[in-house]
């Protein structure tokens, strides 16, 4: 398995992503998964890492200035809501 070691700033960003996902969908995910709180937070951590890896090269300032006008946390919330719908 090819595992990446993250530096402090990367870890902080992934933690922030997880916090935003949790704020957006924790209760809904907990009720859909029916597997307990720890399993729910583990899933959120996996999704935070997935979002980070998928968007590592995204220029958030450009995206904000684009037609979508979405900022970083808007994109995370949209990602989380899409993941919740797919369960």
Listed in sequence order, the DSSP H helices in 1-87 are 8-33, 37-54, 60-65, 72-85
Q: What is the pLDDT of residue 1?
A: 54
Mean per-residue pLDDT for 24-30? Answer: 97
pLDDT tens digits along 29-74: 999 999 999 999 999 999 999 999 999 998 888 888 887 778 899 9
Furthest C-alpha separation in the chain: 40
Tokens of 46: 């996996």
* pTM, 2 dp: 0.90
Give me the pLDDT at residue 2, please.
Answer: 64
Burial of 51 (0-12, 13-18, 19+ CB in 10 A): buried
**What's residue 70's pLDDT?**
81
| Distance, CA of 4 to chain centre | 18
């Amino acid at each position: 398995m090819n595992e990446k070691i993250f530096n402090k700033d990367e870890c902080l960003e992934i933690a922030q992503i997880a916090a935003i996902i949790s704020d957006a969908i924790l209760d809904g995910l907990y009720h859909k998964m029916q597997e307990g709180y720890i399993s729910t937070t583990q899933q959120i951590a996996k999704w935070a890492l997935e979002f980070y890896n998928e968007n590592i090269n995204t220029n958030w300032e450009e995206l904000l200035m684009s037609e979508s006008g979405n900022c970083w946390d808007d994109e995370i919330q949209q990602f989380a809501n899409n993941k919740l719908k797919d369960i």
